[in-house]
Structure 1
Amino acid sequence: MSRIKSTLSRAQWLQHVTAWQGSGLSQAAYCREYQLNHSTFHGWISRGQVPALACAPLTTLPIVVQPSPPAASNLPSIVLRHDSGWQLSLPADMQTTWLGQLLNQLV
Structure 2
Amino acid sequence: MTIRYSRSEQLQHLDAWQQSGMSKTHYCRLHDLNIATFYYWLKHHQVDATVIIPSAFIPAQRVVPENNDADTVTLNLPNGYSVRCLPVQLRAVMQALSLC
1:21 to 9, 18, 21: 18
State the TM-score, normalized to the length of structure 1. Answer: 0.48
Aligned to 2:92: none
Aligned to 1:63: 66
Q: Secondary structure at the match of 2:50?
A: coil
Determine the C-alpha separation between the residues in 1 that align with 2:3 and 2:46: 16
Higher Cα Rg, which structure: 1
Aligned to 1:76: none
Structure 1, unaligned stretches of length 5 or more?
65-80, 84-107
Structure 2, unaligned stretches of length 5 or more?
53-59, 71-100
1:51 is displaced (CA, Å) by: 2.9
Q: Is the contact between residue 31 and residue 38 of structure 1 (CA under 8 Å) also seen in structure 2?
A: yes
State the percentage of identical aligned residues: 32
State the TM-score, normalized to the length of structure 2. Answer: 0.51
Aligned to 1:73: none
Using CA pairs under 8 Å that are at least 6 residues apart, name the structure with larger relative contact order, 1 or 2: 2
2:38 to 24, 37, 41: 41
Number of residue pairs aligned between Structure 1 and Structure 2: 64
Distance 1:25 1:5, change over 3 A: same
Q: State the one-letter code of the partner of 2:66.
A: I
